[in-house]
Amino acid sequence: MGKTIYTRMTVGLAVAAMVLLVGCGPTETGTPASGGTSTKEQVVSPGLSSQEGLYAQIPVQQNSIQEIDLSFTPEFIEVLEIVQLDKEWVKVKSVEVLDVAGNLKVVIHLYMKPGASESDRGVVRAALEDQGNMYDLKAVGDNGLDSVSIEAKDINHNGTNELIITGSMGAAYIERNIVSFIPAEKRWVKLLTMGTPWEIDLDGDGKDDVVAVSGGVLPGYVLIYRWNEDHFERADVAEATGNFYAIPQQTDGKVWIQSGKPDEPPRYYQYLNGKLVEIPEPPVSQSR
């Protein structure tokens, strides 16, 4: 499924014997080259720091380690429509959001059924107001206003803030909508609707990745999203590894994904440069 990073010890001994027979010097290992400098300081997380640091955690004497090239599928971009909500929905709260999509100011209006108050539970619908037009964001929560959060954040690291609306949709599911404005088309769009977010620096580059996890839903899943010029793409960890489930793990600043099949020992992976690196065991002790 992937290329072998480390060869078995028996092969290594055979190669070493051949080197001695022909009188050649020792060959270099697969350690990443250190030549060249960068003017950009990289902030890294313990245990996932860099490619060299990640491989340094992997004992050579263990079974073969593999890299899996993830297949990313483009996510659908939804164009927001101008809407006028009927009397079935009553506005209960408005939130002004600054510095969205290149210094734009918008207002997010939150609606509930007639008679509901800010403390009541129930479906929450949202609309984005920009220059007098109302754009339908549809349902953004199912557990009252207290379960809905709104913020401006550069979540795809493209230099401008997106509008992030996150809301509880049940006991074990949170939904996040990522909204932005396309100046060339003069349209508001929903770049991504994703499940329960796991805000984590998955690959150790100092920036949080866009990751969705199953929460309490079974079987567990981990979906990794990445930004590709003008859209998000998604990869399913369980599907990519040929497994039934995937579970996110984090301990002492170290991050990995456990994946497997029923009645079989779990396998362990770390994410790096668009790939899953299989490791023989978790990067931290499991004896706690």
Span 96-102, mean pLDDT? 92
Contact 226, 203 (CB under 8 A): no
Instruction: Tell me: pLDDT of 226 over 90.
Output: yes
> How close are the terminal C-alpha atoms of the chain, in Å?
33
Residue 273 gets the label, from left (phi > 0), alpha (psi -120 to 50) or beta, of left
By CB atoms closer than 10 A (0-12, 13-18, 19+), residue 38 is exposed
DSSP H or E segment with residue 275: strand 275-279
CA distance 134 to 149: 19
Instruction: Tell me: pLDDT of 120 over 70.
Output: yes
What confidence category does residue 287 fall into, taking pLDDT thresholds of 50, 70 and 90?
low
Instruction: Tell me: pLDDT of 49 over 50.
Output: no
Residue 35's pLDDT is what?
35
Instruction: Tell me: pLDDT of 255 over 80.
Output: yes
Encoded tokens for 192: 């991504």
Span 155-179, mean pLDDT? 94
What confidence category does residue 25 fall into, taking pLDDT thresholds of 50, 70 and 90?
very low
Q: DSSP assignment of 9-69, as one string?
A: HHHHHHHHHHHHHHTPPPPP-SPPP--S--SSPPP--TTTSSHHHHHHTS-TTSS--EEEE
Instruction: Tell me: pLDDT of 288 over 70.
Output: no
Q: Which of 169, 165, 160, 190 is nearest to 81 (CA)?
A: 190
Contact 280, 59 (CB under 8 A): yes
